[in-house]
């Protein structure tokens, strides 16, 4: 209704995976921080933002329905379970609703958004094929990308700027208001508001593995575990000689950062946080 983008995820895959979908959902429920960019000091429009960074009451706000186009990654049980348990949202797809992908007019807001995303930003770059892949031989985007040393981080910066600016751009269909302004207007009209539990949101994109506790009296070493080629330990685990030789659960609760992981016994007893040993703890 408001056209506002709550969250997004940049995927480098040819086809999105369920992890990509979960990361987009997670970002929509967490506070967005405007990143520092290298493409210019004035790239962001005035008031360019995502709702979660505008006001505290917008962060973690849940929605009732999630409409997808029917891709397997979007309709899988994992995504449906997260939407149901964390967001409290019903997943609408072609098999359980009227949401059938007949033509581009079925989702005009989504199609318009991606059209603007291309025409405003990525299609303007010299290292893309423009509006049609047929122009690739003439434009030679691969050569331009190599010559200009275009980085993945640059693409992410452009995406950050485009989406934040989109939320702050007036729409004629919204009476000349920006999506963020109309979002605020509709928010004040809501009688009941639901918020996601942040501890549950943190574990939306998490990885769990059973690891054997090593060390002990016989080896003369404090108890520790090996995870992803790193050695992890803590003051709590160092005192649990009774767990040596046993397997414990290791959970990566911080996305894209496994310097610190959560540990627990197989029966659910928490063992606190484990930290990877140097030098990986500094990277």
Q: How confident is the model at residue 265 (pLDDT cuts 50, 70, 90)?
A: very high
Of the candidates 81, 50, 51, the one whose C-alpha atom is nearest the C-alpha of residue 66 is 81
Does residue 101 carry a pLDDT above 80?
Answer: no
Distance CA 215, CA 99 (A): 56
Q: Which helix H or strand E contains 270, and what residues bound it? A: strand 270-276
pLDDT at position 105 is 62
For the question of whether the overall pTM of this predicted structure is more than 0.95, the answer is no
Residue 74 in this model has a pLDDT that exceeds 90: no
Q: How confident is the model at residue 103 (pLDDT cuts 50, 70, 90)?
A: low
pLDDT of 34 higher than 90: no
Q: Which of 61, 91, 37 shows the shortest CA–CA distance to 192?
A: 61
Per-residue pLDDT, 104: 60
Beta-sheet strands, E only, within 16-158? 65-67, 90-92
Do 73 and 18 touch, CB atoms closer than 8 A?
Answer: yes
Q: Which percentage of the chain shows pLDDT scores above 90?
A: 50
Per-residue pLDDT band at 186 (split at 50, 70, 90) = very high
Residue 199 has pLDDT above 70, yes or no: yes
pLDDT for 228 beyond 80: yes
Q: Which of 69-78, 166-175, 185-194, 244-253 has the lowest mean pLDDT?
A: 69-78
**Cα–Cα distances in angstroms (integers) from residue 185 to residues 170, 175, 189, 260, in the given order:** 14, 12, 7, 41
pLDDT at 133 over 70: yes
132, two tokens = 């049609």
More confident: 192 or 129 = 192
CA–CA separation, 195 and 251 (whole Å): 24
Residue 111 has what pLDDT? 80
Averaged confidence pLDDT in the chain: 88
Burial of 188 (0-12, 13-18, 19+ CB in 10 A): exposed
For residue 141, pLDDT over 90 is answered with: no
pLDDT of residue 72: 78
Q: pLDDT, tens digit, for every residue of 50-62? A: 999 999 999 999 9
User: What is the spatial distance between Cα 44 and Cα 46, in angstroms, rounded to a whole number?
Assistant: 7
**232 — phi, psi (to 5°)?**
-115, 145
Over residues 69-90, mean pLDDT = 87
């Amino acid at each position: 209704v408001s056209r506002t983008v709550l969250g997004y995820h940049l995927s480098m895959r040819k086809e999105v995976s369920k992890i990509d979908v979960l990361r987009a959902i997670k970002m929509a429920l967490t506070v967005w921080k405007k990143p520092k960019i290298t493409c210019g000091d004035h790239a962001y429009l005035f008031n360019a933002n995502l709702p979660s960074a505008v006001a505290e009451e917008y962060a973690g706000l849940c929605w009732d329905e999630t409409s997808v186009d029917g891709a397997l990654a979007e309709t899988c049980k994992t995504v449906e379970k997260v939407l149901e348990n964390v967001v409290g949202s019903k997943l609408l797809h072609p098999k359980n609703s009227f949401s059938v992908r007949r033509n581009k007019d079925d989702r005009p807001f989504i199609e318009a958004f991606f059209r603007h995303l291309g025409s405003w930003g990525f299609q303007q770059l010299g290292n893309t094929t423009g509006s049609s892949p047929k122009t690739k031989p003439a434009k030679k985007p691969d050569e331009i990308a190599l010559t200009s040393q275009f980085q993945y981080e640059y693409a992410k910066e452009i995406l950050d700027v485009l989406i934040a600016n989109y939320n702050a751009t007036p729409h004629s269909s919204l009476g000349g208001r920006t999506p963020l302004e109309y979002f605020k207007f509709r928010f004040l009209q809501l009688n009941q508001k639901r918020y996601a539990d942040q501890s549950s949101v943190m574990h939306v994109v998490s990885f769990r593995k059973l690891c054997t506790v090593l060390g002990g009296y016989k080896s003369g070493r404090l108890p520790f575990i090996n995870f992803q080629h790193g050695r992890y330990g803590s003051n709590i685990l160092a005192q649990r000689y009774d767990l040596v030789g046993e397997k414990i659960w290791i959970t990566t609760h911080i996305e894209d950062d496994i310097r610190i992981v959560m540990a627990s016994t197989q029966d659910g007893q928490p063992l606190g946080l484990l930290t990877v040993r140097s030098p990986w703890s500094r990277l």
